[in-house]
Amino acid sequence: MPSLRRRVTSWLLPSLVVVLAVNAVLSYRGALEAANLAYDRSLWASIKSIGENSYIKDDRIRVDIPYSALEVFSEGAQERVFYAVIGPEGKLLTGYPHMPVPQPVPGDGVLKTTDAIYNGEAVRIGVMRKRLYDPAVSGDDDILILVAETTETRTELAWRLFFGSLSRQLALIGLGSLLVIVALGTAFRPLLRLRDTIRQRNDEDLTPVSPEDVPSEIRPLIDAINHHMGRISAMLEIRKRFIADAAHQLRTPLTVLGTQAEYGLRQDDPAEMRRTLEGIAHSVRSAQRLTNQMLSLSKAEAANGLGDERKRLDLTALVREVAMELGPLALRKQIDLAYEGDKGGIFVDGNETMLRELFSNLVDNAIRYTLSHGQVTVAAVTDGAEAVTVLSDSGPGIPLTERSQVFRRFYRSLDRGETEGSGLGLAIVSEICAVHGGSVALDDGPGGRGVAVSVRLPLARAA
């Protein structure tokens, strides 16, 4: 795209040319009207002079053309003057024949001028009706007085006035264009300073750009840049924290794996080597689970934008599918896994992958921390404008003092016994709920046993 300066100039200068052309047409018309007005006064004076020397004598209309009536045109020697006096019934009393009579004919004593063609030449013709008021004359006593002159002098004067006006307008347009160019250079100077300021920053400088010393029109752009830089800064901070957490959490299982491998290499007893390999396999599974959960947590963070990829979902169908997928894990521990609540028709707008991860973590946690022959129940209902999913178990529960901390990353309760875990499951649940505009809360399970996790999500808008 061309620069803003060039675009503004390409729009403004042609517009000025168009304005100049329109103004030139109007100026010429104004100059012609001014010339006509000046020369029409001579026509009017001649017509009035002829009218004053028209009278009735011996029952006949007589017209004396005084020298002064045509003397007013003496300065314009190149002009040709025509006149005519027409009596009643259209009879030519004196002057040039067949002169055009402007229509409509004006009333008594009223002067009228107009452009016309006479003998193939453009003329300016004036007309006046004059009534002689003599009762001795039979019939009509009105006469028409016509005086016309060619328009060369008028046109020449109009062009002189026009070119004088046009030269001034061109000078103003040139001065205006120069001022526009200077103004554009001055107006875009803050943008150039802003460009230089941002270019001179180092790669890690994401501090907000100062809106000072910039035009008010640019401030919305500065606000948008600062908002975007804030999002990038938050995303980088999350990445740094994620990398630090990953390094810290993976260091222990990798150290254990290294120790187990070194121990196994020193063994000659096949049985001991097998136990060592089983321990390595167990550590690998733990590290794999930790890695998968950390990746899930990274995807669930709002800065990644994955939560914006949403569609209309049947929450009850999704929860039941997740429970069916984890059914074999419950069967191995002989846990009664059941679904209660609505059979269907609870719809939410959400990201299917993230919501599946949310409920998978809840059901998996409930099965892992519930003793054999226990119970895990999933229920989905509606409450006003929200879909509420409650997952309760008969496990050991979570102490009231720790419920505000279990949603922190890598936090594990001290009384979790030998159950494996990374402390990320509820952190993932909390992050996904926040991305979807929902909430998660902990309460006592049925009969005061275990724990009940309530997930609230906004219902989908009507289809």
Is residue 391 within 8 Å of residue 452, measured between CB atoms? yes
How far apart, in whole angstroms, are the C-alpha atoms of residue 309 and residue 379?
A: 26
Query: DSSP state, 423?
Result: S
Is residue 354 within 8 Å of residue 320, measured between CB atoms? no
Say which amino acid occupies 319. V
Give the global pTM. Answer: 0.45
Is residue 86 within 8 Å of residue 98, measured between CB atoms? no
C-alpha dihedral, 247 to 250 to 252 to 253, nearest 10° = -160
How far apart, in whole angstroms, are the C-alpha atoms of residue 363 and residue 228?
A: 37
Q: What is the pLDDT of residue 282?
A: 73
Give the lowest-confidence range in 96-100, 414-418, 445-449. 414-418
| 427 pLDDT higher than 50 | yes
Is residue 109 within 8 Å of residue 145, measured between CB atoms? no
Measure CA 402 to chain center. Answer: 49
Of residues 142 and 387, the one with the higher pLDDT is 387
> DSSP secondary structure string, 240-301?
HHHHHHHHHHHHHHHHHHHHHHHHHHT---HHHHHHHHHHHHHHHHHHHHHHHHHHHHHHHS
Give, for 62, the enclosing helix (H) or strand (E).
Answer: strand 60-63
Q: What is the pLDDT of residue 308?
A: 62
Query: What string of H, E and C letters represents the secondary structure of 171-237?
Result: HHHHHHHHHHHHHHHHHCHHHHHHHHHHHCCCCCCCCCCCCCCCCCCCHHHHHHHHHHHHHHHHHHH
Instruction: Catalogue all structural domains in the chain, each as residue range(s) with its CATH number.
Output: 4-159 (3.30.450), 219-300 (1.10.287), 308-458 (3.30.565.10)
Give the lowest-confidence range in 135-144, 214-223, 349-358. 135-144
Of residues 285 and 121, the one with the higher pLDDT is 121
Give the tens place of pLDDT for each residue, 338-355: 888 777 778 888 888 888
Query: DSSP state, 103?
Result: S
How confident is the model over 168-184, as a mean pLDDT? 83
How far apart, in whole angstroms, are the C-alpha atoms of residue 206 and residue 202?
A: 9
Residues of the chain above pLDDT 90, percent: 0
Residue 403: exposed, middle, or buried by beta-carbon count in 10 A (0-12, 13-18, 19+)?
middle
How far apart, in whole angstroms, are the C-alpha atoms of residue 127 and residue 108?
A: 11
Is residue 348 within 8 Å of residue 457, measured between CB atoms? yes
| 226 pLDDT higher than 70 | yes
How far apart, in whole angstroms, are the C-alpha atoms of residue 45 and residue 141?
A: 22
How far apart, in whole angstroms, are the C-alpha atoms of residue 245 and residue 296?
A: 14
Give the tens place of pLDDT for each residue, 282-320: 777 767 766 766 666 666 565 455 556 778 888 888 888
Binned at pLDDT 50, 70 and 90, residue 414 comes out as: very low
Q: What are phi and psi of 387, to 5 degrees?
A: -100, 125
Is residue 46 within 8 Å of residue 192, measured between CB atoms? no
Q: What is the pLDDT of residue 423?
A: 60
What is the three-class DSSP state of 120? coil
Say which amino acid occupies 34. A
Is residue 395 within 8 Å of residue 369, measured between CB atoms? yes
Q: What is the pLDDT of residue 415?
A: 47
Q: What is the pLDDT of residue 417?
A: 47
Give the tens place of pLDDT for each residue, 194-215: 888 888 888 777 888 887 777 7
Q: What is the pLDDT of residue 298?
A: 63
Query: What is each CA distance from 246 to 175, 237, 238, 250, 297, in whole angstroms?
Result: 67, 14, 12, 6, 11
Q: How many contiguous H segments (helices) and E segments (strands) does the chain have?
A: 10, 14
Give, for 115, the enclosing helix (H) or strand (E).
Answer: strand 111-118
Q: What is the pLDDT of residue 82?
A: 86
Of residues 423 and 238, the one with the higher pLDDT is 238
| 235 pLDDT higher than 80 | no
Q: What is the pLDDT of residue 72?
A: 53
